[in-house]
Amino acid sequence: MSRPDLNLLFTLDVLLAEGSVARAARRLRLSASAMSRALARLREATGDPLLVRAGRGLVPTPRAIELRERVGQLVQDGEAVLRPAEKLKLKQLIRTFTLRTSEGFVENFGPDLIARVGEEAPGVRLCFVQKPDKDSKPLRDGLVDLETGVVGQTTAPELRVQALFRDRFIGVVRMGHPLSQDEVTPSRYAAGRHIYVSRQGADKGPIDEALSALGLERKIATIVGGFSTALALARASDLIASVPERHTGNLRAGMHSFPLPVATPEITVSLLWHPRLDADPAHRWLRSHVRDVCAALR
């Protein structure tokens, strides 16, 4: 079965509105003969004469009367689809955005982001969900609007990615801890009892590799799933937390931070989203605020 010519919908809409082949032709800037041919095609497609002669004019058939409102709405919907999106009206925007981030990101950047969004668009709600892994399926399936994190080998290749900031790991201890005084050497650092952060329960990483190259090994006293938990433990004990510096800025207030005594690679924290939302005005607006918030907290 051949596909119908959808351009005929626009012709039918004008014909039914004008009730005249001549007036419809003028409105569509067609010749009278071209308009008559279009009417013939419409009659063939619908199986109905649509407009029939009554005296010196034309009147619609019952089928044409039935179609008039439906066709008009179809044409309006089609024009709306092909028209550029209207300017975003933030004060009238009602929407919930789901962001998949680490707890540390929410605690450090969340308050400023929520305040900025609420001031411009009071009807917008941010829903932060936990990020137990790097699986891109929630973004692909539309369950998540935005995600933050380090791009890895398992990140879906079609996702849009924008770097937010570079970060480095530092050591953090409570005030008064022995490492809060004097120089922190690799041996002093390794000799302490450490908190390791891993969502998968691993107990070694780049810091351990750097220490191993110096013939040193640190003792992992406990493993936790997030940086905020690690800092809470370090604040209340003699344990040492090693966390990203910018990612945990607000969380380290009242604690002693120091550069790691071994070289470790920096990480790039990025913003990720699915390309289907790339041109969405509200989504672009939110992305700009996430970027601005991360740039402001240095």
Residues 151 and 278 in one domain: yes
pLDDT values of the chain reduced to their tens digit, one per residue, 298 residues: 467 777 788 888 888 888 888 888 888 888 988 888 988 988 888 888 888 888 877 888 888 888 877 887 888 777 767 766 668 899 999 999 999 998 888 988 999 999 999 999 999 999 999 887 777 888 888 899 999 988 887 788 888 999 999 999 999 999 999 999 999 999 999 999 999 998 777 778 999 999 999 999 999 999 998 888 999 999 999 999 999 998 888 889 999 999 999 999 999 999 999 988 988 999 999 999 999 999 886 5
29 lies in a domain?
Answer: yes
Residues 73 and 183 in one domain: no
2 lies in a domain?
Answer: no
Would you list the DSSP string of the chain?
Answer: -PPP-THHHHHHHHHHHH--HHHHHHHHT--HHHHHHHHHHHHHHHTS--EEEETTEEEE-HHHHHHHHHHHHHHHHHHHHTSPPPPP-GGG--EEEEEE--HHHHHHHHHHHHHHHHHH-TTEEEEEE---S---HHHHTTS-SEEEE---TTS-TTSEEEEEEEE-EEEEEETT-GGGSS---HHHHHHSEEEEE-SS-----HHHHHHHTTT---EEEEEES-HHHHHHHHHTSS-EEEEETGGGTGGGTTEEEEE-SS----EEEEEEE-GGGTT-HHHHHHHHHHHHHHHH--
Residues 40 and 108 in one domain: no
Residues 116 and 156 in one domain: yes
Domain of 96, CATH number, reads 3.40.190.10
Instruction: Please say which residue of 42, 59, 81 terminates a domain.
Output: 81
Structural domain of residue 75, as residue ranges? 7-81
1 lies in a domain?
Answer: no
Residues 187 and 248 in one domain: yes
Residues 192 and 258 in one domain: yes
- Number of domains the chain is built from: 3
Residues 95 and 156 in one domain: yes
